[in-house]
Each structure stands twice: as C-alpha cells, then as structure tokens.
Structure 1
C-alpha cells in the first residue's frame, strides 16, 4: 500500500479495532486512550520524559471562536498538527484529523455533526519528517517491540516503506530481527528514559498512576514514541496501562527460522487448515477451517479474522493493531513472512504455529 493511500484514508485507532472484536472492557480501554496525554504529562513532570505536549482547550472554544482560540489560531494557524476531540460524555467516539495545518483542520471540524459541549480538544504537534517511530512493551516476561524509520502509522497499521527492526529481551538475552546500530541506540535511549531508580519517584508514580516497575526499575507498560528532527529527541505519544494488563504475560520472543517457511510470531497458538488467499475482505468469504493469507489485514478483515482458523501476512509487525486484535480474538497470527508468502497457494493444507512463526505444508 502506498504512503499516500495510508495518509489519505482513515486510519482506525486501536480502540476502534478492539471495539469491533467485542472486547468486554472496551469502555475502560476507551477512557485510557482518551486520557493518555494526562498520564504523559505526569511522567513529564515526575521523571522528565518528553512527549507530544498538546495545546488543551474545549471544543466550544473552537465552535465559539473564543479569545483563547483566536490567540491559538494566531500563533499556530499555519503549523501542521493533529486536532483530536475526546468525549466528555460517555460512549461517544474519539474524533481526530492530522497532517494538515490548524487552519485546514478547522474545515474538518466545521463539518462534524457533533455537540461541541460533549468534547474537549487537543492540538497536537505534527512532523512530516519523523526520523524513527517505535512501540515498546515492558511486561512481566521481558521487553518486546519494534522501531522503524519514518512515520509512526507504519507500526500501528502494519504497512511499511522500510522494514521495522523487531526486538525482544528475555532471560537476559537480546534478539533482533536485523542489526542496525542507529536504531539500537534509539532503543537504549528509550529504555534509559523509562528507568526510575529513585524509590521516592517510583512511589509517587505508583500513587498517581498505579505504575508498576520491573526488576531493572523500568516502568512497565505499553509505550509508543517518535524521534523528530532537528534535535532527534525521543518524544512519547502513548503510555497505556490497560493494554499492558492485557499483554503482561505475552511472550513475543522468537528464534531465527533460517531458510524455513516462516514469519515472526504475533499471536500464539497452532492452527491446521486450508489456505485462503484474501484480496478483498469485503467480497471474499471463507470457512472456519481456512487460514487467511494476505498482504496485510486491515480493520475490514475483522469479520473474516474472527471466523478463520489463523492469519498469515506478508507485512505486519508484532504490536500493530491487527496483531493485537488477533490476540484478542484468540487467533494464531504470523506476520512478516515477506516474499516467501508466495509459496502458499489457495487450498494448500498447512500447519501454522503462532508461537514460533513456523509454517509447514502438509502433503496428502
């Protein structure tokens, strides 16, 4: 998928993905997502991490063109940003637009069919020239994640211009999908920024955020971050505790398969079934013994993912929205099979292992 197709189309949030899976505690998750920058502000004030600090206001400031908003528009109108509306009223959806100037984003706002009194607003910094983006999970088993050159949507949506470096740390051993010193240096800096050696600060974060720490005194959680020029400082864009609780016992470690037909395991479990290559999820159908094989799953695939025995994709990554949704559905999933995926044909009988990433053809 071309970059312009990603940017110009709607990119569903992780909340939208999980809501469609029937996740039972979706309201708790939605609240966690809506308030993520409040938590990042506490981390900023407590341990000094950088984050994409927004300008905060009410949606009524925009709709009523208050003096506060007029000043914001004067100072930031031509700056690229994301405009994010988070509901004050329960059960309403989060709304957002990004990648355009604030003046351009106002046209989007004016066309919304909402009651502005139901929403608070955030104007969030945006940079078209992101150096690196990453997702990292620090859980009870280790440290897992991925970093990619370029914009962050590649990791959440699973489509790439450059292949992400996927990493795992378990039992005192690091494993990288490939070696790239610059990216590994970014990872080291991220982990250093999440290390809290001061016990008083740990106590403060535990009281304010119900924070948890691993044996190396790193803050546990699901984190997203970007590295923006010109200073190339790390800027966090998410700290999610609910997602951490869901993934706290998830093991994303894997071994190099060598020349075997394999990818990177993204959701555990084994499935034996019949290959069904899906090109159009809105038109193609399958049965419960089919294993989806495709370039990458998008949110339109969810009805098929819920029905299929398993999922295998050419692209993707271990913590993209689709992989997390596969775990929520309890479906084994293997990502980043790459060009070897062409070895799988319709009606092939296969055994896939979402714990190791191996795919075996079963001969009659």
Structure 2
C-alpha cells in the first residue's frame, strides 16, 4: 500500500495535478459547524447545500465502502502569468477601469469540472490497470462532498479566514478534486495554519460577506450574487459589485499568500474570448446564441444568458459613479430596456437610474 500510494501520487503529477494527498474520511468534527452554518441561512438559495443533510460530512454514506479520499490540487493561474499579475487584477477593479468587465480568474478558461473529472478518471483507470477493479467515485465540486475539509485533512493546505484552502507554496488559486475509494492506502498528515493575525481578506471584501474569521455569509458574497442567485440582486449590494460580472477574487487578490500562486501547467485555463479585458458594452450586446456559442466549454455558460445580462447591467450602472463617458453605455442599456426578460428589464432600469442622477 505504501508503494501504491507513492505511485498514485506520481501518476497524479503526470496528469497535471500539482499535488496529491490521501486521507481517511472521518469528518465528524465538521458536522456541528456545518449544521450551524445552514441553520443561520448562510447558504442562501443554494438548496443543494442542505438537500443531503449530513451526508456531506459522511463520504461513506455517499459512496458505500469508502475509507479513503485521494485529494488533488490543480493550479489555475494562466500559464503566461508573471510576477505582476496581482497588480493587474487589482487595477481592473479601479473606478477608471469600470468600463471593462471583471470575470473571476478561474472562469476565463475551460470549465474546470470537465478538466479535473477527466484527469481523475484517467488516474482511476491507471490504478485499476495496476491492481484490478476497485471501488471508487471521482468528484470536483459536483456532489455533496466537503472538499475543503477533506483536502485540509489530507494536508493539501489549511482553511483560510475566507474559508478557501491555502497552501504555502501555491496560495489559493487552485481547484480541488477527490477520488473516494475503498483502497486502504496510508494517509498523509494535515499541515498547520499560517494566517496568524492577518485579516486582509475580511477587510477587503466589498460586501462584508466574511462576517467572522472562517465564516462566510454566502448571501452577501459577490460570487454568490452573480453566479448562484437566480433572481434579483438585492439593491443594497448592486453598487458594491462594481464591474464584477462573474464571481469575485478580492479576498484572494489581497491575501499575502497568493504572491506564491503558481501558473497552471495546462493550457485549459488560459484566457478565452478576451475575458481578461472585455468591454461591458460588448458583452452586453451578445445575443443568446452568441453567449452560448462564445462560452461553449466555459463555466460561465451555466448561469445562462439572462443572468449574464443581469450582471452586466449592474456593471454598466456602476460606471456612472466612476464618471465614465455615458453616451455609449446609456445607448447599450436603452437597447435592452424592453428586453423580454423581466429580470433583465429590472436591472437595466436600475442602471439607467444611476446615470440619470
């Protein structure tokens, strides 16, 4: 088993995973905190978080026979990133750059679900070829599994105050995946936490969604508001969203550990469709067909054209506060003032009101 574990980790690195660790699946210590988080309603409309109850903390109930998790990390910073990438990303949030759309770094390339699942399956195939049939199931943000808790226990990093996993050599710009299995592999030890007294992620959050260290109220999080929320974005948050049209990286950009973020070894996460420097007006002009075609293979596509327009309308409204030349922006908004979607019309009307002040 020791030799097999070493071999599995080597295969994982060959398949593009930056790190591979192994843990048992006892997450009983996570159950009380998870139940309290749900009881406070911090999951918002993410009903799937509560749908499976404590099965999230009990992997063996999800995949009978499970005794181990092979947890993996895959870096997603684009390959051509240099030492100045963080400053460039911070500049995108400056009021003078508000005519440009800001898309979360992880979503500018290929859908990570497909990349990680495919490579985890290849890893499983290699194991089966070595030892014969075995029990397993692979995941990446695709089932009721407490991925961060498993990754932390496996030693891939520690949970930061923003609730994301942090690694001393790689910051937090990576995806997590796991293979739940019945192979009794030796386990790795967790690592110690290194956030100390730092509160950068808490202080910088535009909507104050990190309500306490290690506690996120998703209902306030810009990633939730622009991706998970299906209806209207609450008025109190619209001006705080700025030009962020899909997700938010602020808590990661200002985390000191991300000066160690590692570029991906794969080209899957390189920027597509110019999403690192796209005009709000241009993106707002996309028809549904253009949206579906242009974002094929992108994680953004899952929110649909309607919510895409909703988010961009808010971004266009927020250009008013930045003093951006409004002629083109107002024209773009007015062109969708009678959009078939009531959701889009509502946010366009709000955006036009900002320019009328």
User: Which interval holds the TM-score relative to the shorter structure?
Assistant: under 0.3
Give the structure with the larger strand fraction.
1
TM-score (norm 1): 0.23
TM-score, length-normalised on structure 2? 0.23
> Hey, which of these two has a bigger chunk of helix by percent?
2
Higher relative contact order (CA 8 A, sep 6+): 2
